[in-house]
Amino acid sequence: MFDPVQLRSFLAVTEAMSFTRAAERLGLRQSTVSQHVRKLEEAAGRVLLLRDTHSVALTEHGEAMLGFARAILDVQERAVGHFARSSLRGRLRFGVSEDVVLSELPAVLRAFRRRHPYVDLELTVELSATLQQRLAAGRLDLVLAKRLVGEAHGRLVRQDRLIWVGGPGAEPDTDGTVPLVVYPKPSITRERAMAALQRDGRRWRIACTSGSLTGVRAAALAGLGVFAHAEGLVPIGLAPVGPHWGLPDLGGVDFVLLGGKGADGEAARALASAIVADSGRLHRSGALES
């Protein structure tokens, strides 16, 4: 029998590829997380992780355990949800930014649905700034979106940094101008990219504008330009641009929960708690994603 607590620590380490960051996500000491993984390895009789002072990597047995751990915890979650279903009812208007909607957020929402089957979820996917406008107008109850590092509004869920990404073989224009693929205004990543290039004295042009992640990704894959994106959510098929571009640093970005007038409701509080507790899943999944 594998201990679910140990399995959760193992999953957190594999998702963060760091014992330190895994401990932060779980709210535990690093030594405790290390002990959990060590005991799991003893129970399995196999080495699951290769680690040194700088890196963590899965062994072949670790890859196998990863699948088993997710399945075991999923079944346990379903069992707990079956016997702990709440009588909570109502409609919850939830907004999610393009960056995270195609991560493993659906798994978090599925678990929430099992525990609260009588809550009707109305999902809106938009740019972070647009979601915040709708929240302020009272058209949403809860929003999971980006804010810039240094800003104080919202409840922090996870931190990341913005990087420049592009398609295979992406290159600047022959005169050094940077071709940009951007979201329309208002867009946090659009403004950050332009401001960074402006400060660095680089010439740039807008090569393509799209209101969806699918469109931005397609433009980058077609070689139309590069764009700013969260490092932990880089779309499949794209990669950080090479150092020969000489592009400026874009800094960090926070993903936060923001509550509107309906955020005091029990359903909004329950979903917010579920997202924070499972924040380790808000990274790139195996599907097309941002």
Burial of 266 (0-12, 13-18, 19+ CB in 10 A): middle
Separation of alpha carbons 129 and 182, rounded Å: 14
Separation of alpha carbons 8 and 16, rounded Å: 12
Question: In this structure, what token pair is assigned to residue 90?
Answer: 């109502």
| Model pLDDT, residue 288 | 30
Helix (H) or strand (E) segment spanning residue 159: strand 155-166
CATH number at residue 38: 1.10.10.10
- 132-143 pLDDT, tens digit per residue, is 899 989 999 999
Domain boundary among 28, 52, 83: 83
Facing residues of 165 across strands?
227, 240
Same domain, residue pair 170 and 146: no
The label of the residue with tokens 């401001």 reads: 195
Number of domains, the chain = 3
Q: Is residue 290 part of a domain?
A: no
Q: Is residue 289 part of a domain?
A: no
Other CB atoms within 10 Å distance of the CB of residue 219: 23
Model confidence at 265, in pLDDT bands (50, 70, 90)?
confident
Separation of alpha carbons 182 and 254, rounded Å: 19
Same domain, residue pair 99 and 214: no
Note the pTM of the prediction, 2 decimals: 0.67
Q: Is residue 17 part of a domain?
A: yes
Same domain, residue pair 175 and 245: yes
- 77-120 pLDDT, tens digit per residue, is 777 766 665 667 788 999 999 888 767 788 888 888 888 888 89
The amino acid present at 155, given as its one-letter code, is R
Same domain, residue pair 132 and 10: no
Same domain, residue pair 118 and 187: no
Q: Is residue 286 part of a domain?
A: no
Same domain, residue pair 152 and 16: no
- 171-219 pLDDT, tens digit per residue, is 899 999 999 999 999 888 999 999 999 999 999 999 999 989 999 999 9
Same domain, residue pair 29 and 61: yes
Establish whether the linkage from the previous residue to 186 is cis, with ω within 30° of 0.
Answer: yes
Domain that holds residue 69: 4-83
